[in-house]
Amino acid sequence: MRNKILKYQLAAVLAIFSTALISAQTESLTLSSAIEIALEYNYGIRISESDVEITGINNNWGTAGRYPGIGFDASSINTYNFNDSRSTNRLRAGVGLDWSIFDGFRVNFTKEKLEGLEELSRGRLGVVVETTIEDVIMAYYNVLLQRENLKVIETVMTLSKDRYDYETVRYNFGGTVTYNVLQAKNVYLNDKALFMTQEVRVRISIRNLNFLLGIDPAVMWNFEDPFEPDTTRYVLSDLSAKMTANNQTLTNQYTNLQLQKKEIDLKKSALYPSLSLSTGLDENLGSEQFIGSTDALSTYGNLRLSWDIYSGGTRRRAIEVEKINEEIANVEIEQMEHALMNELLNLYDFYSIRVALLDVANESIEAAELNMSIADEKFRSGAISSFEYRDIQLIYLTSALRRLEAIYNLIGSRTSLTRLTGGFLMENTSAESG
């Protein structure tokens, strides 16, 4: 019977593989290639990359106010005096330069803030990349899970069809009654409906993966990676050290704290005097009736020193508010470190128990397969009823699906641990360096 189950499973694999070859759009897809596609086409990553590009454009000394501003101005003034019937026409044109020479180091602090904003934007992109990679991994393995479930269900359906055919042959030779045939047919049709529903789940899982990849939902794939978990044991202290050093969300919070400190510096810069320079060139062209035309060219250069000595304590209060915001940022970091440690401990416990649960599931499926082979012989010899045989089939189905779910859950725990400890970004950085 065990050989028969393996034969049915092999037939299911070949059927699915043959169906895939029929599609003209079918291409091979490994997990690594799926991640590469997502890094290029995923919608969230593309939007975050545009945000990084914007902050990079803004991060320059011109935005910070280091350079002077140059402007051109021209005006035409025309008047007519009704008392003496005399008209006047004037044209004024000028080029001016305004430059803030000193403003309490605001330019330097603003530039440092712009650099921090660009760094924070890149950090947020890193979080999006990590989340996308995790989602792609789970979506890829969800496709494999649904396909493996389809194989198991087809195995049971094939056994049900075999039993239905067997009962039909017996009925034709007078070896059984109509009730047994109808009961076997009902079981077979139920399994067939379950199989058809699972086929839909497979197609939906592929569309969901294609959405994460940012490609046409109609594209079909040959999935090359095996549906197998990595049961490597972790050391909790190593995971904790990696999370503290590499977790991108925590790194972003540190960057946010530095930005908050720059806000304090910017508010303090308002306490200093400011010195500005204005220089330019003006030309006035005019014509007046009965007098003639005039032409005047002039230049100017002015320095202006200003100092807001007292403003009702507004600036001091603004500084105090920013200091409180800095304290809030420190508390948020402490809270995040605590939350991440809780998440790490929970994921570590889940990973450890899921390794053990997979071992239990493997033993369970072995027992279920052996029970199936024994039950098939007993059913054909009349030692057990069709109801008992169906119960054993359902036990096999439940055990097989539970084992596949255990594999998927273990992959999920390992993926979450990798994301939490910054493993995805570290792997990408190493790949780019290589």
Q: Is residue 313 exposed (0-12), middle (13-18) or buried (19+ Cβ within 10 Å)? A: exposed
Residue pair 14/155 in contact (Cβ under 8 Å)? The answer is: no
Per the structure block, which two tokens stand in for 172? Answer: 């034709």
Report the interhelical angle of 236-246 vs 314-381 (nearest 10°).
140
Residue pair 119/418 in contact (Cβ under 8 Å)? The answer is: no
Per the structure block, which two tokens stand in for 84? Answer: 């003496």
Q: Supply the DSSP string of 253-314, one letter for each residue.
A: HHHHHHHHHHHHHHHHHTTS-EEEEEEEEEEEEEEETTTEEEEEEEEEEEEEEE----STTH
Residue pair 189/157 in contact (Cβ under 8 Å)? The answer is: no
Neighbour count for residue 434 (Cβ, 10 Å): 5
pTM for the predicted model, two decimal places? 0.83
Give me the pLDDT at residue 287, please. Answer: 65
- Which tens digit of pLDDT belongs to each residue from 28-72? 999 999 999 999 999 999 999 999 999 999 999 988 888 999 988
Q: Which residue ranges make up each domain of the chain?
A: 2-68+103-272+313-433
Give me the pLDDT at residue 292, please. Answer: 56
- Which tens digit of pLDDT belongs to each residue from 175-223? 778 888 888 899 899 999 999 999 999 999 999 999 999 999 999 999 9
Low-confidence ranges of the chain (pLDDT < 50): 1-24, 431, 433-434
Strand partners, 275: 102, 305
Give me the pLDDT at residue 427, please. Answer: 62
CATH topology of domain 2-68+103-272+313-433: Outer membrane efflux proteins (OEP) (1.20.1600)
Q: Is residue 34 exposed (0-12), middle (13-18) or buried (19+ Cβ within 10 Å)? A: buried
CB within 8 A of 423, min separation 6: which ones?
242, 246, 417
The closest alpha carbon to 315, from 362, 385, 358, 267, belongs to 267
Give the DSSP H/E element, type plus range, for residue 98. Answer: strand 86-102
Report the interhelical angle of 178-213 vs 31-41 (nearest 10°).
50
